[in-house]
A and B are shown apart, each in its own frame.
Chain A
Amino acid sequence: MRELPVDETCIITVVEHQGHDGVVSTKSLHTEASETLLQTLERYQIDIQYHCRDGFCGACRTTLIDGCIDYITDPLAFIDDDECLPCCAKPNGPVTLKLD
């Protein structure tokens, strides 16, 4: 993986729940400016569901534990107050996501 200068990247912390044993793992991902959250997750080969990649189907709905995001297209799919759509969002500062 190419190392990016710190000022170009945001850090996404991904919290994953591993099965029934309750073990929680976290990963730190560095974003690139051109990427959506979904593209960053995919670059790190993190398994995430998606369909439309355009904010209208809601397949990639993910819990946003902490941090701010900006939408590059207006999300049309239903998202709860603590959720985001990674397919059309970019991080605005460090972000923590919870993946089921």
Chain B
Amino acid sequence: MKYTTFNQVVTDTMVEPMFMGNPVNVARYDQQKHPIFEKLIEKQISFFWRPEEVDVSRDRVDFQKLSDAEQHIFISNLKYQTLLDSVQGRSPNIALLPIVSLPELETWIETWSFFETIHSRSYTHILRNLFSDPSAVFDDIIVNDQIKKRASDISQYYDDLIFYTQLWQTLGEGEHVINGETHVVTVREIKKKLYLCINSVNALEAIRFYVSFACTFAFAERKLMEGNSKIIRLIARDENLHLTSTQHILNLWAKGKDDPEMAEIAEECQEEAKAIFLKAVEQEKEWAEYLFQNGSMIGLNKDILCQYVEYIANHRMNAIGMGQPFDVQSNPLPWMNNYLSSDNVQVAPQESEISSYLVGQIDSEVSSSEFSDFEL
């Protein structure tokens, strides 16, 4: 089915599935099949922040004092996060918008991607402050083997979905030979790819980010790199919301509350989806090993970090009905929660550079004296 930017067929968005139905026409939110997505949009917009509002100038001094091993940990994590947000800043738009069928979900995807671009800009803000020329750090992302290994796993599900959607939207269902390779395109096949893609995104935002979050907050626990930590807290808050949205999508499918065919696919591909999570856990543990290859940092080492990855994976997988595959009962890094709590993100304005406390501060009090010179 050819994509159209304004579908002139009359559609009822109350009965359309989330994806692979009719393209959206009117961006209307007066009636919503899944109102949760508009609530997420409102929440996300209320979180708006700009990297420049956070003062990272003291981090430069702290960074000079870090040992070589600690500098490696800090910079490698930033590189990896830059990769993750580079992918997330564009992929939900390119992969999901061509097949989305509900206006509230379409707008959520756009809002979500926009916030990922704020994250990308904040990494440049952090690195510009640490180095007079940060290009060496950025240039390494594309050639660093450890990062590349994960990059292909992260992007492959998106790329696969995008390619098949393109074939379907230009050539329709059927067997298509492209550059000598045969591709069998069916709506069900695209839906399968979509299901795996959303699982992979969920794993990315639920697990992959947390290794670097843990390292950042471990520095902050020692009162080091606090500007950076303030930014990462804002990013973590956004990621928690994005994670909620993909959990909703997966659960709406699995519980048969959206597209009945997706409920079948969710059951059929459950093991494959679980394997995506388990592979993400393995890769993050390997990443932890790479981070600590030159030595640990105070308060954190490879083993604790690996336990934390398993702990967080248990929680995340349980949330989408995959059970708890790892034997970790208690949180090995309890202080992480202080940094992930949104109470602590919005600190008193005088304590921080963040100006978002001004959002919505309009004086709406009107006294009767204001009307004294009014005449009817």
Q: What's the Cα separation between A41 and B237 when bound, in Å?
A: 23
Q: Are B341 and A52 in contact (CB under 8 A)?
A: yes
Task: Count chain B residues whose beta carbon lies closer than 8 angstroms to a beta carbon of A.
Answer: 22
B37 to chain A, nearest CB (A): 10
The B interface, classified by DSSP as helix, strand, loop or mixed, is helix
Q: Are B244 and A54 in contact (CB under 8 A)?
A: no
Q: Who on chain A is nearest to B243 by CB?
A: A57
Q: Are A51 and B244 in contact (CB under 8 A)?
A: no
Residues of A within 8 A of B60 (CB): none
Residues of B within 8 A of A52 (CB): 237, 240, 340-342
Mask: chain B, 230-273; 1 = CB below 8 Å from A; 0 = not: 00000001001101100110010000000000000000000000
- Asked if B39 CB lies within 8 Å of chain A CBs, one says yes
Q: What's the Cα separation between A74 and B244 when bound, in Å?
A: 14
Residues of A within 8 A of B40 (CB): 56, 76
Other-chain residue from A47, A54, A61, A100 in contact with B342 (beta carbon distance below 8 A) = A54
Q: What's the Cα separation between A21 and B75 when bound, in Å?
A: 45
- Asked if B319 CB lies within 8 Å of chain A CBs, one says yes
- Asked if A58 CB lies within 8 Å of chain B CBs, one says yes
- Asked if B50 CB lies within 8 Å of chain A CBs, one says no
Q: What's the Cα separation between A74 and B343 when bound, in Å?
A: 16
Q: In chain A between 25 and 80, which residues have their CB closer than 8 angstroms to a CB of chain B?
A: 47, 49-54, 56-59, 61, 74, 76-78
Q: Are B319 and A53 in contact (CB under 8 A)?
A: no
A65 to chain B, nearest CB (A): 17
Q: Are B343 and A59 in contact (CB under 8 A)?
A: no
Q: What's the Cα separation between A99 and B101 when bound, in Å?
A: 38
Q: Are A78 and B341 in contact (CB under 8 A)?
A: no
Q: In chain A between 66 and 100, which residues have their CB closer than 8 angstroms to a CB of chain B?
A: 74, 76-78, 100
Q: What's the Cα separation between A74 and B241 when bound, in Å?
A: 14
The interface centre, meaning the residue of B36, B330, B341 with most chain A CB atoms within 10 A of its CB, is B341
Q: Who on chain B is nearest to A77 by CB?
A: B244
Q: What's the Cα separation between A57 and B315 when bound, in Å?
A: 11
Q: What's the Cα separation between A54 and B43 when bound, in Å?
A: 11
B238 to chain A, nearest CB (A): 10
Q: What's the Cα separation between A25 and B315 when bound, in Å?
A: 22
- Asked if B8 CB lies within 8 Å of chain A CBs, one says no
Residues of A within 8 A of B342 (CB): 52-54, 56
Residues of A within 8 A of B324 (CB): 100
Number of residue pairs across A and B with beta carbons under 8 Å?
Answer: 54
Residues of B within 8 A of A51 (CB): 240, 337, 340-341
Q: Who on chain A is nearest to B248 by CB?
A: A78
Residues of A within 8 A of B244 (CB): 56-58, 76-78
Mask: chain B, 342-376; 1 = CB below 8 Å from A; 0 = not: 11000000000000000000000000000000000
B329 to chain A, nearest CB (A): 8
Q: Are A47 and B340 in contact (CB under 8 A)?
A: no
Q: Are B237 and A59 in contact (CB under 8 A)?
A: no
Q: Who on chain A is nearest to B249 by CB?
A: A78
Q: What's the Cα separation between A74 and B40 when bound, in Å?
A: 11
Q: Are A56 and B337 in contact (CB under 8 A)?
A: no
Q: Are A47 and B240 in contact (CB under 8 A)?
A: no
A41 to chain B, nearest CB (A): 13
Residues of A within 8 A of B156 (CB): none
Q: Are B341 and A49 in contact (CB under 8 A)?
A: no
Q: Are A49 and B340 in contact (CB under 8 A)?
A: no
Q: What's the Cα separation between A49 and B251 when bound, in Å?
A: 21
Q: What's the Cα separation between A49 and B237 when bound, in Å?
A: 16
- Asked if B135 CB lies within 8 Å of chain A CBs, one says no
- Asked if B4 CB lies within 8 Å of chain A CBs, one says no
Residues of B bordering A, CB below 8 Å:
36, 39-40, 43, 237, 240-241, 243-244, 247-248, 251, 315, 319, 324, 330-331, 337, 340-343
The list of the 10 closest CB pairs from A to B, nearest first, reads A57-B240, A51-B340, A52-B342, A54-B342, A78-B247, A53-B341, A77-B244, A78-B248, A78-B251, A53-B343
Besides A47-B330, A51-B341, A52-B341, 8 more A-B contacts (Cβ < 8 Å) are A50-B337, A51-B337, A53-B343, A57-B241, A74-B39, A76-B43, A78-B248, A78-B319
